[in-house]
Chain A
């Protein structure tokens, strides 16, 4: 299904990887604006909850470690696939999914606690900018998890025999993006809250 064309081409470009990279650049630009909005409003709060009073960087940090670890596990999965170790590949893929899911559960719990403390999107500009930024990120994690699950299901069905897959490469790149943009967001939202 992924047969590369063998017809002579002038320039060899890994089209799928290039396309996903371009897509991630556009996503980076999207997040940049959400981040700018958050930064703009940070510290302009005169009343109501803000980052310092509402957030728990330690707890979120722990959940973040799970997410970052999943970046390494998805790379491991790719390496196993290209060396033909399909069962190890599936194992690492599943691990990635589980680590990502743990992160989302942690985010969900954080959101729930904030909601109970009256920190919502409509509470004040902190609420609005915080939930928008972390919410869009969480949405991207969720979509990435869905993609990973589809890949896992295909792997279970016996796909990816050739050891090289554009789909895996694409999703893995996306997953790396989602993980490492979180590092940026984590520092701006949670670490900065400490000061």
Chain B
């Protein structure tokens, strides 16, 4: 745990254009009025954490209802609202804010900048998230939460089938969230393009920054598709429009095409920054440079491009015709290749290394296997006659949770354990962290591995109960017990956050012996981020400083 050795003085660079660089105010007002990317990042992360708890409770309620067949813990109406809100919450109010929060906090630090390009726009983006989330949840007390599923298929989402205002709250809430995401994307792209410190070429970007950049481009192009769709849905619902109502000339399938034009890039939006965090964590704890940097970066672009070409693989059972099914199957199979490239490069990074299994590294290693499972079941869907059997069943629920939880959430855990010291100045408890990890690994697999089989023996998704068919009750009960274990793991995580924040070991600048610029300043950093920057001649400025006999730039990197 060495601090960074003496660095030759260099002017702190990368100021943001002019105007009023306000100094942060004290106390609560300081937080509410902040335009500092670090505080905004923390606000995003805290918001995400709160909604993670809410979404998790929603999940537990669902699993309690499903623990036994013909259960009546929840009514169908209650269950349907809860599963809709669970999915909507986890994607829009947990995954995206958590990743945006990490990006917000880390990107300026990692590129040696003082802040993002537009600090006030940054704050505005956050408050749009807060408002949108509260607005969406207000629906529970305004006549009922939306109950048409997180992707809100028409005509179920239209009048008269969704007759409460729930879907209106959904549409407006998500529209607001979308605006916030687009604003943040613009901010981050301009920041990465224009505010890098001297010496930080695009080829020397930390992979997290690189993947955040690609993600923002995805957001810029995909979120407008969602906003257009939501506008059209609202026009149908509130102004008697006919976009998606087939009785009056509209098209239910058009909604699906439009939604998934957003929805598919969206899943990469929530996974690429996760890949970015893994790409930072694994090298540091393996004490080895990332293997195949260029290929990991290039495969990210390949994934981004392909992500716009596969949307109708969510519609294989809709009756588009074999020719169209085949086209989308090809794209869906191809998109597995760049992802596989990454997995192999991460393993190759660990190979020959000197691996320290901190909690962060445990989650990153767990991620490798969990995400692979999810990716492989994804390939089975791409072989679309299989999709014809297992789509819209618990096999699909299993797949999506392996990639989104085993993937994104595990990566976020890895990132939190890695960067919490930088953000708070204190170390998270490794003892509690390891308990968190192992309980989570067991609980997660117990919950979701059995769901593959539930789907294969005929259980559809989005059902508030099920008949007492052979095996169904036992598998569902197992899944529920696993969910309870996951809940305990999350509780331990929350406890860890609290006690460590209050009384954790002081972290110092660089507790992990890491190499990117955020570790070249104090923990937490001062408001202006850096007093001094090390010379930047490669992707790992701090490695170069600590290893003058074998700096990266000697290898031409």
Q: Is chain B found bound to chain A in the same assembly?
A: yes
The chain A residues found within 8 Å of chain B, CB to CB, are 1-5, 7-13, 15-16, 18-19, 22-23, 25-27, 29-30, 32-34, 36-37, 40-41, 44-46, 121-122, 124-125, 127-129, 132, 136
User: B240 interface residue, CB < 8 Å from A?
Assistant: yes
Contact between B19 and A26, CB atoms less than 8 A apart: no
- Shortest 4 CB-CB contacts between residues of A and residues of B: A13-B194, A122-B240, A33-B228, A30-B224
Distance between A160 CB and nearest chain B CB, rounded to angstroms: 16
CB-contacts of B219-257 with A (<8 A) = 220-225, 227-229, 231-232, 235-236, 239-243, 248-251, 254
Query: Which residues in B have their C-beta under 8 angstroms from that of A122?
Result: 239-242
Query: Which residues in A have their C-beta under 8 angstroms from that of B117?
Result: 15, 19
Contact between B235 and A121, CB atoms less than 8 A apart: yes
Contact between B231 and A136, CB atoms less than 8 A apart: yes
Contact between B13 and A40, CB atoms less than 8 A apart: no
User: B153 interface residue, CB < 8 Å from A?
Assistant: no
Query: Which residues in A have their C-beta under 8 angstroms from that of B221?
Result: 25-26, 29
Contact between B229 and A33, CB atoms less than 8 A apart: yes
Question: Bound state CA distance, A44 and B242, in angstroms?
Answer: 13
Question: Bound state CA distance, A106 and B444, in angstroms?
Answer: 61
Query: Which residues in B have their C-beta under 8 angstroms from that of A41?
Result: 249-251
User: B428 interface residue, CB < 8 Å from A?
Assistant: no
Contact between A125 and B196, CB atoms less than 8 A apart: no
A22 with B261: in contact, given A10-B200, A125-B243, A132-B231 (CB under 8 Å)? no
Mark contacts of B181-211 with chain A using CB atoms, 8 A cut-off: 1 yes-contact digit, 0 otherwise. Answer: 0100111011001111111100000000000
Query: Which residues in B have their C-beta under 8 angstroms from that of A127?
Result: 242
CB-contacts of B440-473 with A (<8 A) = none
Distance between B16 CB and nearest chain A CB, rounded to angstroms: 7
Contact between B232 and A37, CB atoms less than 8 A apart: yes
Contact between A121 and B19, CB atoms less than 8 A apart: no
Query: Which residues in B have their C-beta under 8 angstroms from that of A132?
Result: 231-232, 235, 241, 243
Question: Bound state CA distance, A1 and B18, in angstroms?
Answer: 8
Q: Which of A1, A2, A15, A125 interacts with B248 by CB under 8 Å? A: A125
Q: Which of B13, B220, B249 interacts with A10 by CB under 8 Å? A: B13
User: B14 interface residue, CB < 8 Å from A?
Assistant: yes
Q: Which of A13, A26, A44, A121 interacts with B193 by CB under 8 Å? A: A13
Distance between A78 CB and nearest chain B CB, rounded to angstroms: 19
Query: Which residues in B have their C-beta under 8 angstroms from that of A45?
Result: 249
Distance between A125 CB and nearest chain B CB, rounded to angstroms: 4
Contact between A23 and B248, CB atoms less than 8 A apart: no
- Closest residue of chain A to B114 (Cβ to Cβ) is A7
Query: Which residues in A have their C-beta under 8 angstroms from that of B242?
Result: 122, 124-125, 127-128
Question: Bound state CA distance, A34 and B197, in angstroms?
Answer: 41
Question: Bound state CA distance, A3 and B227, in angstroms?
Answer: 35
- Closest residue of chain A to B219 (Cβ to Cβ) is A26
CB-contacts of B71-93 with A (<8 A) = none
- Closest residue of chain B to A2 (Cβ to Cβ) is B18
Query: Which residues in B have their C-beta under 8 angstroms from that of A27?
Result: 224
Question: Bound state CA distance, A89 and B169, in angstroms?
Answer: 45
A8 with B11: in contact, given A23-B186, A124-B248 (CB under 8 Å)? yes
Q: Which of B187, B225, B249 interacts with A124 by CB under 8 Å? A: B249
Distance between B398 CB and nearest chain A CB, rounded to angstroms: 32
Question: Bound state CA distance, A127 and B240, in angstroms?
Answer: 11
User: B258 interface residue, CB < 8 Å from A?
Assistant: yes
Contact between B17 and A29, CB atoms less than 8 A apart: no
Contact between A5 and B17, CB atoms less than 8 A apart: yes
Question: Bound state CA distance, A63 and B500, in angstroms?
Answer: 65
Contact between A29 and B250, CB atoms less than 8 A apart: no
A9 with B14: in contact, given A121-B241, A125-B249, A129-B243 (CB under 8 Å)? yes
Distance between A162 CB and nearest chain B CB, rounded to angstroms: 12
Query: Which residues in A have their C-beta under 8 angstroms from that of B194?
Result: 9, 11-13, 15, 18
Q: A2-B19, A22-B189, A30-B228 are in contact. List 12 more A-B contacts (CB 8 A).
A: A7-B14, A13-B194, A19-B187, A23-B186, A33-B258, A34-B232, A36-B258, A41-B249, A121-B241, A122-B242, A125-B248, A132-B241
Query: Which residues in B have their C-beta under 8 angstroms from that of A11?
Result: 193-194, 196
- Closest residue of chain A to B197 (Cβ to Cβ) is A10
Question: Bound state CA distance, A40 and B186, in angstroms?
Answer: 30
User: B15 interface residue, CB < 8 Å from A?
Assistant: yes
Mark contacts of B254-270 with chain A using CB atoms, 8 A cut-off: 1 yes-contact digit, 0 otherwise. Answer: 10001001000000000
Query: Which residues in B have their C-beta under 8 angstroms from that of A1?
Result: 19
Subset of 13 A-B contacts with CB under 8 Å:
A9-B13, A9-B14, A18-B190, A19-B118, A23-B182, A26-B224, A27-B224, A29-B224, A33-B225, A121-B239, A122-B239, A125-B250, A132-B232
Question: Bound state CA distance, A132 and B236, in angstroms?
Answer: 10
Question: Bound state CA distance, A174 and B446, in angstroms?
Answer: 53
Distance between A151 CB and nearest chain B CB, rounded to angstroms: 18
CB-contacts of B1-57 with A (<8 A) = 11, 13-19
Contact between A4 and B239, CB atoms less than 8 A apart: no
A34 with B16: in contact, given A23-B186, A122-B239 (CB under 8 Å)? no
- Closest residue of chain A to B118 (Cβ to Cβ) is A19
Distance between B519 CB and nearest chain A CB, rounded to angstroms: 20
Query: Which residues in A have their C-beta under 8 angstroms from that of B14?
Result: 7, 9-10
Question: Bound state CA distance, A15 and B220, in angstroms?
Answer: 17
Contact between B16 and A5, CB atoms less than 8 A apart: yes
